[in-house]
């Protein structure tokens, strides 16, 4: 039997949603398995777009579904999953209702197709719409408190594409050549949807993809002047490349051999140098102390919810507590790698206080408060001299990932 055009992509979306919501996989992990049979680039892009919009607007899509059923469908019902896919295509990707029905109802072969058809048709007839910003799950609102509404408002659209430049002096040149805008020296922001490998400067290694928030921790170490820096948990290498470009002698350590290989490939493309070490930071013994240490610690990555909306649904207290325990151990270890008089920067791409402020409060080193002039306009240090970004900041320019950053002197 020949598949209906577009049906394999929808099947992949169904598998991705199940892997994220039932098994707790990341969307990236789920996509690898679910899309392995999709050969066409456009089909893969469509499947990923539908899955992303389902997860971004999940609470609102479910509310619409519930408004059109006499008896609430179970959360894990296949009919609910298919209706989410149908509504996301119609309301977010502007797919005509007849095309939505043709490509989605076959997913319920042998199941409640009539129910799904009836619910979707009723919602189309009512001309329903999604709110201006996606609703967050209740557990997320409880954790983020007063920040939740502003963050939610910034999640309505996927983020733009940020590039970090190898040579800050060329910012104006690359902004003009790429047709982007710069929010600080060494940065260019482009509209989303750009094919990275086809952009000018990619082959020559003039820049790399890195959200502007992710570029801040390395920037806070300043110019290296050939001093030695340890980049812990370094792969895939954005911060390593920043440090090397800023004149540091970089030792980049990561426990994943696969990710270290990707780091080496990125260094080769950009023509930058670093000593790459594959090891567990909690077990590795440094041959000597470093002038500076950068620890961008493993975390729940809830700060990346603009591009990874799966974190809104699969991250909870257990994952946060596990990561916080690891982060505390890594920070203690990072202190031992830093020489007296040296600088230590700690960062996580998390919006959770447990992974940021609470971890930093236990560091006994002397605080080195971040100054406003070290940050892009629109981002300010906290009263304690730390950095706390969230997607609501720089909203007029497309937002920013959520990060926590602290700096100390030893």
d(CA 15, CA 350): 27
The reported pLDDT for the residue numbered 195 is: 83
295 and 345 Cβ atoms separated by less than 8 Å: yes
The reported pLDDT for the residue numbered 387 is: 98
Task: Provide, rounded to the nearest whole percent, the portion of the chain with pLDDT above 90.
Answer: 95
Helices and strands counted in the chain (H then E)? 16, 11
pLDDT greater at residue 398 or residue 1: 398
Catalytic, out of 260, 338, 349, 363: 349
Task: Provide, rounded to the nearest whole percent, the portion of the chain with pLDDT above 70.
Answer: 99
Strand runs labelled E in 143-274? 161-165, 187-190, 207-209, 228-232, 249-254
The DSSP bridge pattern shows strands 403-409 and 161-165 to be: unpaired
The reported pLDDT for the residue numbered 286 is: 94
Model confidence band, residue 405 (pLDDT cutoffs 50, 70, 90):
very high
Is 167 strand, coil or helix? coil
Parts of the chain belonging to CATH 3.40.50.150: 211-409
Task: Please measure the distance between the N-terminal and C-terminal CA atoms of the chain and give it in whole angstroms.
Answer: 68
pLDDT in tens, 350-381: 999 999 999 999 999 999 999 999 999 999 99
The reported pLDDT for the residue numbered 88 is: 98
Q: Which residues contact 294 (CB under 8 A, 6 or more apart)?
A: 217, 218, 221, 229, 230, 231, 232, 239, 243, 345, 347
pLDDT in tens, 57-88: 999 999 999 999 999 999 999 999 999 999 99
Q: Which helix (H) or strand (E) holds 366?
A: strand 366-367
Q: Which helix (H) or strand (E) holds 278?
A: strand 275-278
The reported pLDDT for the residue numbered 1 is: 40
Model confidence band, residue 17 (pLDDT cutoffs 50, 70, 90):
very high
Q: 211-409 has which fold?
A: Rossmann fold (3.40.50)
| Mean pLDDT of all residues belonging to the chain | 96
d(CA 185, CA 207): 13
Q: What is the mean pLDDT of residues 383-391?
A: 97
The reported pLDDT for the residue numbered 84 is: 98
Q: What is the mean pLDDT of residues 3-31?
A: 93
pLDDT of 388 strictly over 80: yes
Q: What is the mean pLDDT of residues 257-282?
A: 97
- Annotated catalytic residue 349: yes
Q: What is the mean pLDDT of residues 152-181?
A: 96
pLDDT in tens, 292-321: 999 999 999 999 999 999 999 999 999 999
pLDDT in tens, 87-123: 999 999 999 999 999 999 999 988 899 999 999 999 9
Model confidence band, residue 409 (pLDDT cutoffs 50, 70, 90):
very high
201 and 177 Cβ atoms separated by less than 8 Å: yes
**Torsion-angle region of 229 (φ positive above 0: left; ψ -120 to 50: alpha; else: beta):** beta
CATH code of the region 7-125: 1.10.940.10
Parts of the chain belonging to CATH 1.10.940.10: 7-125
pLDDT of 184 strictly over 90: yes
């Amino acid at each position: 039997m020949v598949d209906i055009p577009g049906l394999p992509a929808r099947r992949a979306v169904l598998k991705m949603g199940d892997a994220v919501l039932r098994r707790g996989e990341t969307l990236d992990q789920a996509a690898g398995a679910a899309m392995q049979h999709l050969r066409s680039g456009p089909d893969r892009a469509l499947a990923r777009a539908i899955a992303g919009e389902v997860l971004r607007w999940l609470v609102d899509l479910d509310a619409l579904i519930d408004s059109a059923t006499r008896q609430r469908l179970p959360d894990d019902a296949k009919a609910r999953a298919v209706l989410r896919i149908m509504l996301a295509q119609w309301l977010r990707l502007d797919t005509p209702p007849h095309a939505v029905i043709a490509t989605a109802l076959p997913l319920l072969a042998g199941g409640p197709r009539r129910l799904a058809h009836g619910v979707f048709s009723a919602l189309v007839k009512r001309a329903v719409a999604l709110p201006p910003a996606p609703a967050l799950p209740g557990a997320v609102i409880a954790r983020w408190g007063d920040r939740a509404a502003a963050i939610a408002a910034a999640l309505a659209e996927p983020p733009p594409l940020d590039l970090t430049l190898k040579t800050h002096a060329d910012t104006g040149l690359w902004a003009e050549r790429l047709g982007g805008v710069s929010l600080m020296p060494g940065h260019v922001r482009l509209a989303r949807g750009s094919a990275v490998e086809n952009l000018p400067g990619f082959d020559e290694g003039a820049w790399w993809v890195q959200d502007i928030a992710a570029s801040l921790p390395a920037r806070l170490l300043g110019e290296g002047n050939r001093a030695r820096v340890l980049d812990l948990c370094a792969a895939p290498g954005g911060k390593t490349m920043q440090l090397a470009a800023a004149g540091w002698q970089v030792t980049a350590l990561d426990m994943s051999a696969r990710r270290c290989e990707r780091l080496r490939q990125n260094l080769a493309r950009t023509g930058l140098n670093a000593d790459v070490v594959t090891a567990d930071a909690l077990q590795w013994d440094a041959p000597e102390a470093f002038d500076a240490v950068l620890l961008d610690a493993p975390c729940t990555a809830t700060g990346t919810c603009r591009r990874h909306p799966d974190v809104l649904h699969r991250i909870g207290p257990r994952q946060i507590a596990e990561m916080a325990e690891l982060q505390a151990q890594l920070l203690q270890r990072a202190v031992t790698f830093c020489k007296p008089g040296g600088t230590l920067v700690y960062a996580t791409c998390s919006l959770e206080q447990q992974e940021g402020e609470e971890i930093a409060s236990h560091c006994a080193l002397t605080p080195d408060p971040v100054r406003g002039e070290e940050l892009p306009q629109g981002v300010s240090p906290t009263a304690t001299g730390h950095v706390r970004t969230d997607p609501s900041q720089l909203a007029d320019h497309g937002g920013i990932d959520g990060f926590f950053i602290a700096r100390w002197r030893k």
